[in-house]
């Protein structure tokens, strides 16, 4: 996915947040845990000093009040040590050495760790993700992380796609949090804007998947994406039949209508109880068979489609033409052909039905 930087890169738009990865603990929770741990340790030291206040001496007035104990605890924890209050008994000095000193080191460790985590580490991670963003190449851009978008990402990951190769854009921080949990790179923004798509280098993407939830927004996103990436394949989801043509005219290479696909499954089940099951099997990587699209191999040129050994050949795409396995043109594969075949996923079950 990552390649060496090219000269004269255009800077990323400053108005959009950089890509980010999931954090094991949210920032607010991390801060709360660290502050809580530090306060708990300081409270323990205050209690220890208060119980052992007879072993402390105040050079100012000779009396050690609770306020003096809190004051002595803070200067002791921070190793300031003004010397106006000091342990004088052997017991108090032993308490300082055995109990207070380890707690002091723990509190210092918490503060140093916090500074490292929130200043150094997070700054480094932000810089690293910006570098990744600048070098994105051959990645998958998912525009919209609703029901369809999230299912598409889950299926891609199930098909062994590295989540770090997937970039999700959505205006909802809640949905992006779910995408982060899946390991994807995310960017919060409006996918209809040129600046947003430029920030994820859409012109260098492997493919673009559009599922905005509304057909009008989806078509506008397609127009923007096609303008920004004239040669990148775009697949979009629309829900109204009369918008399928508009989506294709906007620049989508593939248009999927989930309502129509559901209708196909329902109609298939009316013709036989196994048809809809087989269609679902073909569509999912968890099934026994899968549809595969690939370019013709050199050793297959000149041979019939029915003689390929990687699967069952169904169709050839030759230029803009779709050629079925029963047509005469399928008896001889040519250079540049794209083959659609059914192949085995390698998963078997007890049911012997093929």
**Three-class secondary structure assignment of 183-227:** CCEEEECCCCCHHHHHHCCHHHCCEEEECCCCHHHHHHHHHHHHH
Q: Which two tokens stand for residue 330?
A: 């399928």
Q: d(Cα 317, Cα 344) in Å, to the nearest integer?
A: 21
User: How far, in Å, CA of 69 to CA of 212, rounded?
Assistant: 61
Residue 56: enclosing H or E segment and its boundaries? strand 56-58
- pLDDT at residue 263 in the model: 74
C-alpha angle with apex 322: 319 to 324, nearest 5 degrees? Answer: 140
> What are the Cα distances from residue 160, in Å, to 140, 235, 324?
13, 20, 29
Distance CA 323, CA 320 (A): 10
Per-residue pLDDT at 11: 44
Tokens representing 353 are: 């039905």
Positions in the chain whose pLDDT score sits under 70: 1-31, 81, 114-134, 264-265, 268, 283-286, 346-354
Residue 153: which residues within 8 A CB-CB, separation 6 or more? 142, 145, 163, 166, 168, 179, 182, 184
> Which residue pairs, CB below 8 angstroms and at least 24 apart, start in 42-46?
42/73, 42/74, 42/77, 42/107, 44/103, 45/73, 45/76, 45/77, 45/99, 45/100, 45/103, 45/104, 46/70, 46/73
Token pair belonging to 62: 């000779």
Decide: 84 and 143 in contact? Cβ < 8 Å: no
Q: What's the pLDDT tens digit per position in 231-250?
A: 999 999 998 888 989 999 99
pLDDT tens digits along 253-292: 999 888 777 776 677 677 777 777 777 777 666 677 888 8
Q: Which residue, chain included where needed, has tokens 């150094």?
A: 120
- At residue 61, the pLDDT reads 77
Cα angle 303, 283, 150 (rounded to 5 degrees) comes to 135
Each residue of 36-59: b (16+ CB within 10 Å) or e? eebeebbeebbebbbebbebbebe
- Compute the distance between CA of residue 88 and CA of residue 80 in angstroms, rounded to an integer: 18
Assessment of whether the complete model's pTM goes beyond 0.85: no
Predicted pLDDT at 26: 57
Distance CA 57, CA 290 (A): 81
Contacts of 179 (CB under 8 A, 6+ apart): 142, 145, 150, 153, 168, 170, 186
């Amino acid at each position: 996915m990552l390649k060496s930087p090219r000269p004269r890169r255009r800077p990323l738009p400053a108005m959009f947040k950089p890509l980010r990865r999931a954090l094991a603990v949210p920032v607010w929770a991390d801060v709360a845990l660290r502050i809580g741990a530090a306060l708990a340790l300081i409270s323990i030291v205050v209690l220890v000093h208060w119980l052992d206040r007879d072993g402390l001496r105040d050079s100012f007035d000779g009396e050690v009040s609770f306020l003096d104990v809190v004051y002595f605890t803070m200067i002791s924890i921070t190793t300031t040590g003004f010397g106006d209050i000091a342990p004088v008994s052997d017991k108090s000095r032993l308490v300082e050495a055995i109990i207070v000193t380890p707690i002091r080191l723990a509190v210092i460790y918490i503060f140093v760790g916090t500074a490292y985590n929130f200043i150094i580490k997070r700054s480094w991670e932000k810089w690293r993700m910006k570098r990744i963003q600048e070098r994105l190449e051959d990645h998958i851009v998912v525009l919209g992380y609703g029901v369809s978008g999230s299912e598409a990402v889950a299926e891609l990951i199930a098909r062994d796609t590295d989540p770090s190769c997937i970039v999700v854009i959505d205006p909802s921080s809640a949905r992006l949090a779910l995408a982060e949990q899946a390991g994807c790179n995310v960017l919060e923004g409006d996918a209809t804007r040129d600046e947003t798509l430029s920030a994820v280098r859409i012109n260098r993407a492997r493919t673009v998947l559009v599922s905005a939830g509304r057909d009008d927004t989806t078509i506008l996103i397609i127009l923007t994406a096609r303008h920004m990436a004239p040669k990148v394949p775009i697949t979009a989801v629309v829900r109204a039949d009369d918008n399928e043509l508009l989506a294709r005219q906007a620049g989508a290479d593939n248009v999927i209508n989930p309502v129509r696909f559901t209708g196909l499954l329902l109609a298939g089940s009316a013709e036989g109880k196994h048809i809809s099951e087989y269609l679902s099997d073909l569509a999912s990587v968890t099934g026994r068979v899968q549809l595969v699209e690939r370019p013709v191999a050199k050793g297959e040129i000149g041979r019939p489609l029915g003689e390929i050994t990687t699967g069952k050949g169904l169709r050839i795409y030759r230029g803009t033409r779709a050629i079925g396995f029963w047509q005469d043109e399928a008896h001889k594969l040519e250079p540049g052909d794209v083959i659609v075949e059914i192949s085995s996923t390698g998963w078997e079950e007890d049911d012997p039905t093929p």
